[in-house]
Amino acid sequence: MKYLLFSLLFLPFLLSAQAWEITEIGTLSEGVSNNAVAAAEIDDIVWLYSFSGIDNSKSASGIHGKAWRFNTETGVTETLPDLPGGLGKIAAKAHRIGDIIYIIGGYRVLNNGNEITSPAIHRFDVMANDYLTDGSPTPVPVDDHVQAIWRDSLIYLITGWSNTTNVPNVQIYHPNTNSWQAGTSIPNNHNYKSFGASGTIVGDTIYYFGGASATFPTGNPFPIQSQIRKGIINPNDPTDITWSIMSTPFVGYRTAATKVQDQVFWLGGSEITYNFDGLAYSNNQPVSPANRSLGYDPETGSFTPEFAPSIPMDLQSIGTIDDSIKYIWGGMVENRLVSNKILQLVRKPLAVGISDPVPLNANLEVYPNPAESFIFVTLSGVFSEPVTISLVTPSGQILLTDIGTDSNRQITLPEGQQGLYFLIATYQKQPISLPFPLIIN
């Protein structure tokens, strides 16, 4: 039903070629995933930092508190002291304000499988290249939470997991006073409460997307979420937040959230929820990366999914120096391999004619839906050249194309591809129809 609602709302949707220029700038001797990443510029040199995480054993014993910094100019990695406290953890988040990186939250796994959420807020001084004393503990400990910076002055912690369940809390840390305030909680329901979601703040508005819900439908524990939640911060009282929600045809889990100008991007991640070992909660099978960048323009309400096979899953935070250059350290790639790579992502302008949507002068009618082996498509409009109808995954990957001038077509569907897809018509390489959701049984 949520996909039908999306179609009826006619939210703009653009397909595009990859617009991130992704370069491997470092290969390390040790891989790490589910780590907290930040960046800082010192004397015109960009340094990247990684704190805590899990090694390639993907076991509870492989969860650690190791830390490193990477010189992007020389390609040299330096080992830093472990996080204070002597306990390793995963699912922490890191953000820098001024010269201090704040590493907040996370959890460790006991031998019996129980998880303990950390209340710690570690503070790392990039100029001194050492830790300060820990900050005031988080009032409600969280891990796999949403963390974002407001006006380079406040750190917002939104929802997340706390020892045994998702929580609705919004907690605001004041670095200057080393103190906490409670913000307006998100609604206490499973559409808002989440773990493994990620988000950022654009202007005075919080956007967070995806994650997992602490519900247990039959055969599907911790189902993945598709919503974008929006929180408008009152600039006169930053604890006052007005919350709303919108459905999308996309899902995401443990993506890296960032912004470029006034657009939000969720990079990498997966389309299936999983435990710290990379095995799905639903069937204990290995999970694959989504191979996707998902852009969202708050002004127009348009989405831009892009095929991005280089970006891994199992991400918590991303290194940012300026608006267009981002850094990813580690993560998990295909076959649950823990990555030892550092990637630089530079946002490039979209190809000419794709960044601005063309007028939608075609409409698709599809029967049957849901479908099994074939569909009949009726395309409205008159065109002098062939029109391409593409079957596209939610991550933006094109599975098949049908090119022709016929208004009525029968299209054979690929075998073994059950799930939600989208049909879209393109003319002279530009989209001319809204995406039509198609379910293949």
Q: What is the pLDDT of residues 63-86, one digit of tens each?
A: 999 999 999 999 999 999 999 998
Confidence tier at 395 by pLDDT (50, 70, 90): low
Architecture category of domain 364-440 in CATH:
Sandwich (2.60)
Q: Would you list the domain boundaries of the chain? A: 12-347, 364-440
3.40.190.10, 2.120.10.80, 3.30.70.360, 1.10.3720.10: CATH of 12-347: 2.120.10.80
Q: What is the pLDDT of residues 283-333, one digit of tens each?
A: 999 999 998 899 999 998 888 888 788 899 999 999 998 888 999 999 999
Confidence tier at 433 by pLDDT (50, 70, 90): confident
Can you give the pLDDT at residue 379?
86
Q: What is the pLDDT of residues 240-288, one digit of tens each?
A: 999 999 998 889 999 999 999 899 999 999 999 999 999 999 999 999 9
Can you give the pLDDT at residue 111?
87
HEC profile for the chain?
Answer: CHHHHHHHHCCCECCCCCCEEEEEEEECCCCCECCEEEEEEECCEEEEEEEEEECCCCCHHHEEEEEEEEECCCCCEEEECCCCCCCCCEEEEEEEECCEEEEEEEEEECCCCCEEECCCEEEEECCCCEECCCCCCCCCCCECCEEEEECCCEEEEECCEECCEECCCEEEEECCCCEEEECCCCCCCCCCCCECCEEEEECCEEEEECCECCCCCCCCCCCECCCEEEEEEECCEEEEEEEEEECCCCCCECCEEEEECCEEEEECCECCCECCCCEECCCCCECCECCEEEEEECCCCEEEEEECCCCCECCCCCEECCCCEEEEECCECHHHCECCEEEEEEECCCCCCCCCCCCCCCCEEEECCCECCEEEEEECCCCCCCEEEEEECCCCCEEEEEEECCCEEEEECCCCCCEEEEEEEEECCEECCCCEEEEEC
Taking residues 424-441, report their average pLDDT: 79
Q: What is the pLDDT of residues 100-118, one digit of tens each?
A: 999 999 999 998 889 999 9
Between the alpha carbon of residue 303 and those of residues 226, 264, 300, the distances in Å are: 13, 10, 9
Question: Tokens for 199?
Answer: 């988000």
Task: Give 231's strand partners.
Answer: 206, 243
Can you give the pLDDT at residue 358?
42
Kindly tell me if the per-residue pLDDT of 18 is higher than 60.
no
Instruction: Give the predicted TM-score (pTM) of the model.
Output: 0.80
Can you give the pLDDT at residue 348?
75
Can you give the pLDDT at residue 10?
31
| C-alpha closest to that of 73 among 39, 29, 99, 34 | 39
Can you give the pLDDT at residue 78?
97
Cβ pair 244, 304 in contact under 8 A: no
